[in-house]
Structure 1
Amino acid sequence: MTSAAAAELSRLLFDGRYEQVHEDIRELLLDPVFDAREGLTMTEAGQLAYRRSRFVHAGLERPLEVLRDPWRLFALAEWPSLLDVSTFSLLMVHYNLCFGTVVEHGDRPDLKDLVDELDRLDSFGPYMATELGYGNNVAALRTEAVYDAGTQTFVLNTPDALAQKFMSYSGFQDVPKLAVVMARLKADGKDHGVFPFLVRISDGDGLCEGVHAAACPEKPVQGLDNGVTWFDHVRVPRRQLLHGDMGGFAEDGTFRPSSGNRRKRFLRAMSRILPGRLCVSSAAVGAGRASVYVALRYAAQRLTNAPGRNDLPVVEYRSHQLALFTALAKVYAMTLLLNHAKRAYVAQRDAVPAELNHLISITKALSTWEMTDVVATARERCGAQGIFSANRIADYGSLLQGLVTAEGDNQVLLATTAGQIIAQDPEQPPQAAPDPRGEDLRDPAFLLAALRHREQELLRAAREAVADDSRERTYFEAWNGTMNTGLAMARLRGVRTALECFTRAVDEAQDGRVREALGLLASLYGLTEVQRDAGWYLARGVLTAEQVERLPEALDALCALVRPHAETLIGGFRLSPELLRAPIAADDYVDAFQQRTGAFGPVGDQTPTGS
């Protein structure tokens, strides 16, 4: 691999921003504070995550400056999870959800002391929205904040068990915490809907008066202090209502919400969820890249017995290539799709149109689902070595399980997006299916045309099914009957957009070797997606029977062509054995594993320790 090729790939993967946005965050991870610590209890692992979070905070500009530059926020989401899943979670909740909400809706002179406290990380900022009985239905939450005009305070209270705040960080009661709590604002006998409040949860000596918490059961890998939290008539000063432009108090002391309906005010209050979805996707693709990097480096060294020889690296097997090169193609596709969504958000974050909301939601769902598959594949292809936390991939599996449901459960998020697309997208005239005769199955233009046709047909079918008034149905019954078609359409919109981004990256590549490698990988990604629904394409005349039969052969042939480029393609990830500290990613994995376990000593020394 040439340094020029690696630099070119890094430029494309990090959207030309690696040095300005990513490099210093990556360098922080080389510090010994991120060295592996084995044998920790879950509590000790959680406490270490808090120390590591403070270390990262101290090494960067203040959170307030990070929030002003979304690219920095996204980069902060991408790197720490490679070495500590829990540190990523703490940083993202504090920087984006809690502090982001405070800055966006409470950046006022009378709150400066609390803003500065969070900015200095004197207190960590949990975010308390989800309730035990409501899951994703945050708009229906029941924690209430009743205004007492006589004392100019809100009385924050949890009315029943279903309304307990769920999963937020309240277990470590010796850590000072200042939380954003989403609660139903009641004043003058009226329910004004859900608003954010800034509430002191703990002061370092324990939970504050009226605040109660119980630890959630242990989770694998993520040793954080997730808890169930409830409030017993906690007094919250009026100034700590983060009303922003959603309302305010009049001179006579009455609360007046802004114009518009409750739903719009609620969505405004939850505005940090949108960049949060891009942060979640950033962590997911970072984990996917690291998983493929580790798995391919190991595969290049792991010797196997093959017909006629006993020293063949496992990466030379076509079955191994199909699994890992397909994973590599997905990693590139999701990285490029995510870059596209980030650029669109940064350009329009002050007024997010529906199309951008759809793009971000689809990107979050597709990238976390795809990277879940990538991590699982990489772990499996590494055999027993993939199980050890030291080799990172197993921990990434736990991370992805959380990301799939973070900032909106994928299934719910994609179904909501599909419903909006079906209702809002302008009608388009039906287009003829692309003619497959004489087409090269590796041609990205043909693959794009096929994907685009299926997306349009699924959208048309879903619209017709919802609009069908030939029988009596409620709207829910109509939507429920076509929901899976809508989900398939929304997912395919993401796939199609990702392949479009992939082909643009191929065109933009200036290095000939990089252009060739990316082109092959784009074809592999597109062809894998077409194979996924080969029966549909055959039935609609988009593929011939002969082409369908040749799909496995075409994929194998692409893998053979990708093989010489594999090292080049992972070279742009800006990863290294020194950064990941994964023994099987080392230049000599046997020696690294020996050193980690203290087994026989250095390679070549056959004398067991103690003999």
Structure 2
Amino acid sequence: MTTHPPLPLRRVLMTSHTRPAPAAGPLDRLLHGDCPPDFLDALHRALARHGFQVATDPGEREEYLDGRLRTLHRALPPAHLLLRDTDRLAAVVAWTAVADPRLCMSVITHTVLCLGSVVRLGADDPSVRSAVEALTSADARGSYLVTEAGRANSHLATRTEAVFDPRDRCFVLSTPDSAAAKFGAVPAGRGRRLAVVLARTIAGERDHGVFPFLADLAGTEGTLPGVDFSPPLELSSLPLTFRLVSFHGVRVPYAAWLRDGATVDAGGTLHDPLGSPEARLRRSLCVGQELWGALPSAAAATARQATVLALRHARARLTQGHLAPGAPLFAYRSQQRALLGALADAFALTCAAARARELLGTASEAGEGNGSRSPGTAFAPWPAVSLPLSAYKAYTVRAAEHVVTECRRRSGWPGLLDVNRLPGYQGFHQAFEPAGGDSRLILYDIGRSLADADPSAPRPARTTDPADPSWWPSVLGDHEDTLARQLRRARDHRARRQHDDFAVWNPLLDAAGELGETYAARLAAEDVHRALEHLAPGTDPPLREALEALGVLSGVRAALRRAGSLLTARTLRPRDLAPLPGLVDSLCDRVLPQLPALEARFGFPDDIAGAP
């Protein structure tokens, strides 16, 4: 006898995923930012023009990505306007990540980092205008070369040099040895290739810190003199062409020095208004702010789309197990907990992404990222550029990978197929663990910074009801304070016996990383609570109820995942955790009636992100 699911679930299982989304409202602004409908329509059309291809041959792949990038750039506002509009920039990064993670990485490298450096730090001289125009139209491809392959933490000790030659007022780019070769995505094939190259700048035999330079790497006839490419280095998790790039006496015009107000006078003396190499490094990396403000939107979007695809699969796939032959996979409670939990985490990521966009917009309006702010950093310069935005980068990429991985596991062998999108999403997030500022190093430095800061004021007493949306953020706040106290005590104890920072901190880095991760998770949990309050006035009550259930579900599941740390620190007690599994089931039941509406709002159009 065939066993049927209960009636409310049966309605969910039978609902078509083609149901149209309602008109724009608070939820749509949370999902896609404050973007005009005509902008999103143009973005949609540009992405739908080229169908998704699983291209394995590098030449075929690069031709495909070149075409998509050109179509995209010609449909969007000019880069100098796009880069100043936080919501539109984040929407481009998010939608391209959903359509094709390889395209998104190309957009990040070409538009956000390469063109972003030019726009923010300046190359408006007529002699380089043609290069900027070629990048703006995507007739030339741009790269961003900052990492040096041979040593860890190379951002803090760049060895590629740009030496000023007063005879012709050019800078001479040189790679001192193979360990200093730059590593980055440099497209294969013939065509103009440019890169923003971060190099230690020498003038008058004095080191003035790290500046970016806009350098030509290749043209239609091939690699330019003085530029040396390694053979292509393929990355299967994010199929793009990566290379090691070395420079041997490459002359870069003065106008292509992205000098940001610095000058070299007639006598060959460099004058930098920032005043120190440390401040200059932070300013040269300022495009990290745009990346971290936009990347959480890509993490959230791919997590939502992965969950929608997994839910569709689970709803359509019939099982033949003896417990309920013919029942859809989604009828099983274990599948509901996993996939509705993934949907809850995707919603929480969406709330964090909205806050990251808000922080980026505020920082841009205030002119932050000018190199003047300097929290202590030992492993990477990124937290010094923006501590909260770097935390969002690290947290959202990791959380999104967790969501996509769960969706792949719950989808069986179809979850392994490239054409079904999930492997590409997972590879994208794995690539951004080290890319865009290594997440582990970011969290180490955040933890150290929090330990060095003055203890926070006592927090308000938290509710004891885990079904209250304020419960999880308050738990994380208390946990963060406890971990910070423990780390300070351990640091002070070691400092009394040791005489250098390495000896003090070396055994404490895992604890510092846990504190940094808890700080980032607390920010994201507060974002969920804040978003639910903002959604309340203008959202349909049944949908609002489901969104609140998703917000609470994300926190409850996170508490169960972190149970070991929470119990060890005595932030929670066993009796606090005991009712949570039952609460998970009741929250899933609150979400189920609104699942078709949530899928319609959370998912992306099938013509850019569908799966067979």
TM-score normalised to structure 2 length: 0.88
Report the count of equivalent residues: 575
2:166 is matched with 149
Counterpart CA distance in 1 for 2:39 and 2:466 is 38
Deviations, residues 421-469 of structure 1 (Å, cap 9, x unaligned): 3223x3234569757xxx4332222333222211111122222222334
Residue 509 (structure 2) pairs with residue 483 (structure 1): yes
Kindly provide the amino acid, as one letter, of the partner of residue 91 in structure 2: A
Deviations, residues 489-540 of structure 1 (Å, cap 9, x unaligned): 2222222222222223222233101211011111111111222233454566
Q: Which runs of 5+ in 2 are unaligned?
A: 1-18, 376-382
Counterpart mapping for 1:15-26 below 5 A: 15-17=33-35, 19=37, 21-26=39-44
Cα pair 1:284 1:403 within 8 Å, conserved: no
Residue 235 (structure 1) aligned to one of 227, 251, 260 = 251
1:384 is matched with 413
Residue 208 (structure 1) aligned to one of 224, 227, 246 = 224
Counterpart CA distance in 1 for 2:355 and 2:142 is 30
Residue 422 (structure 2) aligned to one of 385, 393, 399 = 393
Deviations, residues 457-485 of structure 1 (Å, cap 9, x unaligned): 11222222223344234222322333222
Note closer, same or farther for the CA distance 1:183–1:538 as it changes in structure 2 (3 Å cut).
Answer: closer
Counterpart CA distance in 2 for 1:344 and 1:447 is 22
Cα pair 1:63 1:95 within 8 Å, conserved: yes
2:185 is matched with 168
Residue 77 (structure 2) aligned to one of 61, 64, 88 = 61
Cα pair 2:115 2:142 within 8 Å, conserved: yes
Counterpart CA distance in 2 for 1:363 and 1:22 is 24
1:591 is matched with none
2:10 is matched with none
Counterpart CA distance in 1 for 2:194 and 2:566 is 54
Counterpart CA distance in 2 for 1:393 and 1:346 is 31
Counterpart CA distance in 1 for 2:291 and 2:460 is 39
Residue 251 (structure 2) pairs with residue 226 (structure 1): no
Cα pair 1:146 1:185 within 8 Å, conserved: yes
Note closer, same or farther for the CA distance 1:374–1:226 as it changes in structure 2 (3 Å cut).
Answer: same
Residue 78 (structure 1) aligned to one of 80, 85, 94 = 94
Cα pair 1:8 1:514 within 8 Å, conserved: no
Shift of 1:114: 3.1
Residue 480 (structure 2) pairs with residue 455 (structure 1): yes
Residue 290 (structure 2) pairs with residue 287 (structure 1): no
Counterpart CA distance in 2 for 1:139 and 1:545 is 44
Deviations, residues 315-341 of structure 1 (Å, cap 9, x unaligned): 121111121111111111111111112
Cα pair 1:145 1:156 within 8 Å, conserved: yes
Residue 223 (structure 2) pairs with residue 198 (structure 1): no
Counterpart CA distance in 2 for 1:544 and 1:200 is 60
Deviations, residues 67-111 of structure 1 (Å, cap 9, x unaligned): 232322211111122232222122221111111111222243344
1:582 is matched with 611
Identical amino acids, percent of aligned pairs: 29
User: Secondary structure of the equivalent of 1:125?
Assistant: strand
Cα pair 1:433 1:450 within 8 Å, conserved: no
Deviations, residues 98-151 of structure 1 (Å, cap 9, x unaligned): 111112222433443433332233322211111111344213121112222122
Counterpart mapping for 1:180-191 below 5 A: 180-191=196-207
Shift of 1:241: 1.4
User: Secondary structure of the equivalent of 1:404?
Assistant: coil
User: Secondary structure of the equivalent of 1:200?
Assistant: strand
Counterpart CA distance in 2 for 1:553 and 1:44 is 52
Kindly provide the amino acid, as one letter, of the partner of residue 135 in structure 2: L
Note closer, same or farther for the CA distance 1:165–1:526 as it changes in structure 2 (3 Å cut).
Answer: same
1:13 is matched with 31
Note closer, same or farther for the CA distance 1:384–1:535 as it changes in structure 2 (3 Å cut).
Answer: closer
Deviates more, 1:76-85 or 1:156-165: 76-85
1:30 is matched with 48
Counterpart CA distance in 2 for 1:292 and 1:323 is 10
Residue 135 (structure 2) pairs with residue 102 (structure 1): no
Cα pair 2:443 2:514 within 8 Å, conserved: no
Cα pair 1:462 1:482 within 8 Å, conserved: yes
Shift of 1:292: 0.4
Counterpart CA distance in 2 for 1:16 and 1:101 is 25
The runs of at least 4 aligned residues of structure 1 exceeding 6 Å deviation read 353-356
Counterpart CA distance in 2 for 1:195 and 1:58 is 30
Counterpart CA distance in 1 for 2:22 and 2:251 is 61
Cα pair 2:90 2:294 within 8 Å, conserved: yes
Note closer, same or farther for the CA distance 1:477–1:564 as it changes in structure 2 (3 Å cut).
Answer: farther
Residue 526 (structure 2) pairs with residue 500 (structure 1): yes
2:284 is matched with 269
Note closer, same or farther for the CA distance 1:18–1:406 as it changes in structure 2 (3 Å cut).
Answer: farther
Shift of 1:240: 1.8
1:464 is matched with 489
Counterpart CA distance in 1 for 2:244 and 2:173 is 16
Cα pair 1:79 1:283 within 8 Å, conserved: yes
2:585 is matched with 556
Kindly provide the amino acid, as one letter, of the partner of residue 476 in structure 2: L
1:604 is matched with none
Residue 158 (structure 2) pairs with residue 130 (structure 1): no
Shift of 1:486: 2.3
1:334 is matched with 349
2:546 is matched with 517
Kindly provide the amino acid, as one letter, of the partner of residue 90 in structure 2: F
1:305 is matched with 320
1:427 is matched with 455
Counterpart CA distance in 1 for 2:38 and 2:525 is 27
2:270 is matched with 255
Counterpart CA distance in 2 for 1:262 and 1:515 is 51
Deviates more, 1:201-210 or 1:106-115: 106-115
1:446 is matched with 471
Note closer, same or farther for the CA distance 1:207–1:30 as it changes in structure 2 (3 Å cut).
Answer: same
CA RMSD of aligned residues (A): 2.5
Cα pair 1:303 1:311 within 8 Å, conserved: yes
Note closer, same or farther for the CA distance 1:18–1:503 as it changes in structure 2 (3 Å cut).
Answer: farther
Counterpart CA distance in 1 for 2:279 and 2:248 is 29
Shift of 1:39: 6.1
Shift of 1:562: 2.2
Note closer, same or farther for the CA distance 1:581–1:461 as it changes in structure 2 (3 Å cut).
Answer: same
Counterpart CA distance in 2 for 1:388 and 1:417 is 37
User: Secondary structure of the equivalent of 2:111?
Assistant: helix
Shift of 1:194: 1.4
User: Secondary structure of the equivalent of 2:234?
Assistant: coil
Residue 395 (structure 2) pairs with residue 366 (structure 1): yes
Counterpart CA distance in 1 for 2:224 and 2:593 is 61
Deviates more, 1:7-16 or 1:190-199: 7-16
Deviates more, 1:274-283 or 1:404-413: 274-283
Q: Which runs of 5+ in 1 are unaligned?
A: 584-611
User: Secondary structure of the equivalent of 2:83?
Assistant: helix
TM-score normalised to structure 1 length: 0.88
Counterpart mapping for 1:36-51 below 5 A: 36-38=52-54, 40-51=56-67
